[in-house]
């Protein structure tokens, strides 16, 4: 009998929660094939880098990660997968040390490609035409975090003028409702207490569920069924488009004991002129209506906002229109993105480009506003009792966790607290922007 040679594999994920879900699934697949998973900081036989291409910096970061892996083991096989690999496979193949590039379809069959791969051979590229990426591969993350990221949808049919995601991930398609519920139950059996629903455009859930373009189920029907899964204590909705965040969804979340009072809703610009140029599917008035509806029904809710600065044609007056719009909205924090030119998008051909230095200035202004918003929201919650799910990280003797409404709470590190839900009294905001606690009631002992 020939003994199988065990090989070690390490993973590094760039980008969104969806990428983390897919990396975790690919890792479980390789472990089932006999590979040994190790940390990316350890010496490994194979390093797999799952890339993002939302920003230009993500592209550049890929090169840095490749160098880091080769520093650990110059003889290791380097495999690059994901969105950047789908968009620019030839460019990645030119990075010194890269042995294998897999696109949107091929990454889920990586075990078939690395079996006979040799370090000294030419870089192998396997990347399909994006219209071939019309199938759905269920994924969820487990083991890397206290929370599990559950992929329910992939791809996007929107045509936003700045975005390459449809080119990297293909058309909108969904997991079957049966599959989502099955995976949620698998997660619950592993003792995970919180699920975060992820996708490219999760409000579009149901499209392509049976391989067609119509919706077999709606996002509302999905969350109604997930609400019935036993043993999952908390479910969090990741980013959802404002035009797809229907009042019925907000109503349901407000009544649910599992879906938490936390929404993340992309805005991108507070200017209707710019929203039209971006080909977003809403205007600022609808966005404001959604925020007001949520606050009328969901007490102590935290709302996060995505916003882009420096889009072509964003004059100082238009930027300030966005700034003032955000300043007046009752939201908890901002994710600020600096516009960067992307190949094969409409926006790259638009006139009135904004100087990079000005883009950076506007980014800084909104990040300062975000910190003010976050601090004000945290202060508004002091003196209340909330439930914290503690994470595993030990940072200088302190541990962290998040309340149901996404307040980052800190206390001295205690290994027994990891993955525990505790009711806490929110006491004060410390100098690092975290909330400290005064007393705690153990809920899961």
* pLDDT tens column, 263-276: 999 999 999 999 99
Q: Of 128, 161, 176, which closes a domain? A: 128
Predicted TM-score (pTM) of the model is 0.92
Is the pLDDT at 57 greater than 90? The verdict is no
Per-residue HEC secondary structure of the chain comes to CCCCCCCEEEEEECCCHHHHHHHHHHHHHHHHCCCEEECCCCCCCEEEEEECCCCHHHHHHHHHHHHHHHHHCCCCEEEEEEHHHHHCHHHHHCCCCCCEEECCCHHHHHHHHHCCCCCCCCCEEECCCHHHCCCCCCCECCCCCCCEEEECEECCCCCCCCCCHHHHHCCCEECCHHHHHHHHHHHHHCCCCEEEEECCCHHHCCECCCCCCCECCCHHHHHHHHCCCCCCCEEEECCCCCCCCCHHHHHHHHHCCCECCEEEEEEECCCHHHHHHCCCCCCHHHHHHHHHHHHHHCCCCEEEEEEEECCCCCCHHHHHHHHHHHHHCCCCEEEEEECCCCCCCCHHHCCCCCCHHHHHHHHHHHHHHHHHHHHHHHHHHCCCEEEEEECCCCECCEEEEEECCCCEEEEECCHHHCCCEEEEEEEEECCCCCEEEEEEEECCC
Confidence category of residue 56, pLDDT binned at 50, 70, 90: low
Condensed to tens digits (0 to 9), the pLDDT of residues 125-183 reads 988 777 777 778 889 998 766 899 999 999 999 999 999 999 999 999 999 999 999 99
Are 319 and 222 members of one domain? no
Instruction: Tell me what the pLDDT averaged over the chain comes to.
Output: 92
Are 303 and 367 members of one domain? yes
Q: Of 190, 221, 238, which closes a domain? A: 238
Position 1 in a domain: no
Which residues form the domain of 354? Answer: 263-379
Is the pLDDT at 33 greater than 60? The verdict is yes
pLDDT at 1: 37
| Mean pLDDT (whole number) for 353-376 | 98
Are 194 and 284 members of one domain? no
Are 120 and 149 members of one domain? no
Looking at the 3D structure of the chain, how many domains does it have? 4
Are 432 and 349 members of one domain? no
Position 211 in a domain: yes
């Amino acid at each position: 009998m020939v003994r199988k040679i065990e090989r070690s594999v390490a993973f590094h994920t760039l980008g969104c929660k969806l990428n983390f879900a897919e990396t975790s699934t690919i890792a479980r697949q390789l472990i089932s094939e006999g590979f040994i998973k190790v940390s990316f900081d350890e010496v490994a036989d194979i390093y797999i880098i799952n890339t993002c291409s939302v920003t230009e910096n993500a592209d550049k970061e890929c090169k840095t990660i490749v160098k880091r892996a080769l520093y650990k083991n110059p003889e290791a096989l380097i495999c690059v997968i994901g969105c950047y690999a789908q968009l620019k496979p030839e460019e990645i193949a030119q990075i010194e040390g890269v042995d294998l590039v897999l696109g949107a379809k091929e990454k889920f069959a990586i075990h078939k490609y690395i079996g006979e791969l040799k370090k000294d051979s030419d870089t192998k590229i396997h990347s399909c035409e994006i219209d071939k990426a019309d199938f759905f591969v269920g994924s969820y993350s487990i083991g890397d975090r206290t929370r599990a990221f559950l992929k329910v949808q992939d791809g996007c049919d929107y045509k936003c003028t700045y975005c390459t995601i449809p080119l990297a991930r293909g058309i909108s398609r969904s997991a079957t409702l049966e599959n989502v519920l099955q995976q949620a139950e698998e997660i619950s059996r592993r003792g995970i207490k919180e699920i975060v629903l992820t996708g490219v455009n999760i409000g579009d859930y149901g499209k392509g569920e049976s391989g067609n373009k119509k919706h077999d189920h709606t996002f509302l029907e999905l969350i109604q069924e997930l609400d019935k899964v036993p043993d999952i204590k908390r479910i969090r909705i990741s980013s959802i488009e404002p035009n797809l965040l229907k009042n019925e969804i907000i109503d349901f979340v407000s009544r649910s004991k599992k879906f938490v009072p936390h929404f993340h809703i992309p805005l991108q610009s507070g200017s209707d002129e710019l929203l039209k140029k971006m080909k977003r599917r809403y205007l600022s008035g609808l966005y404001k209506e959604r925020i007001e509806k949520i606050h009328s029904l969901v007490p102590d809710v935290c709302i996060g906002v995505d916003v882009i600065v420096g889009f072509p044609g964003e004059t100082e007056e238009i930027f300030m229109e966005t700034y003032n719009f955000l300043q007046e909205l009752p939201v908890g924090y901002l994710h600020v993105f600096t516009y960067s030119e992307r190949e094969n998008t409409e926006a790259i051909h638009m006139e009135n480009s904004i100087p990079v230095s000005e883009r950076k200035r506007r980014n800084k202004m909104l990040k300062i506003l975000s910190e003010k918003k976050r601090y004000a929201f945290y202060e508004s919650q002091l003196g209340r009792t909330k439930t914290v799910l503690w994470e595993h990280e030990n940072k200088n003797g302190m541990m962290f966790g998040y309340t149901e409404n996404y307040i980052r709470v800190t206390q001295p590190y205690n290994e027994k607290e990891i993955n525990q839900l505790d009711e806490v009294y929110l006491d004060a905001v410390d100098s690092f922007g975290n909330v400290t606690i005064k007393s705690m009631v153990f809920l899961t002992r």
